[in-house]
Amino acid sequence: MLSATNEEKIRKEWLETPMLTPKVRKVTVNISLGQSGEPLEKAGKVLQQLTGQKPVKRKAKRTNRDFGIRKGEPISCIVTLRKEKAMEFLRKALQAVDNRIPESSFDKMGNFSFGIKEHIEIPGTKYMPDLGIFGMDISVTLGRAGYRVKERKRAESSIGKDHLLGSEDAIVFVKDALGVDIT
């Protein structure tokens, strides 16, 4: 856990240098079933209702006979949310987990992930018997202003080590911006 003095030091640094303030770059919502067909179609409908975007199907990378999965068979659906849609969905999804995330959910680059066991736990979602209940994984990618330089096609560059986002910065940001308790 971070000490209160470290948190205050990080907040002070953000006030002095606004470019260091983290922001949510994207939220990725994934429902992975491990099978194709009608269950995957239903999961896609649920994902579309929750996010307001059309999901993309992902295919299996390799065959696994134990699970009955063939290479190239669609087994999951995914949606990527950005900007206001991402923040709106993230606030709802965090309520489903009682605004608590374990510290172990953060990686060393400041991103974090959590799971929801049943999609009907998200506030404002109604149970539809014809669709069923699905669990989902939510991954949040955080960044700072200037991160685009490493992803652009022309004049690609690297980000300096002082500008990289770490887990401590991400934890303070999530506490402040989203009101989440880190356990």
- Measured CA to CA in angstroms, residue 98 lies from 27, 81, 152 at distances of 18, 21, 37
CA distance 83 to 122: 20
Q: Which 3 state secondary structure label does DSSP give 131?
A: coil
**Structure pTM?**
0.86
Residue 20: both structure tokens together: 């260091």
Beta strands, E only, the chain: 23-32, 56-59, 74-81, 100-101, 112-116, 136-143, 181-182
**What does the pLDDT average to over 122-128?**
85
Q: Work out the number of other CB atoms within 10 angstroms of the CB of residue 158.
A: 9
pLDDT in tens, 59-76: 888 888 887 778 888 888
pLDDT of res. 63: 86
Looking at domain 4-178, which CATH architecture does it have?
A: 2-Layer Sandwich (3.30)
Percent of the chain with pLDDT over 70: 99
pLDDT in tens, 132-161: 888 899 999 999 988 888 888 898 899 888
HSE of 16 in the Cβ direction (CA atoms, 13 Å)? 6
The number of residues in the chain equals 183
Which of 101, 125, 123 has its CA nearest to residue 114? 101
pLDDT of res. 101: 92
Name the residue ranges covered by the structural domains of the chain.
4-178
Asked if residue 112 has pLDDT above 90, the reply is yes
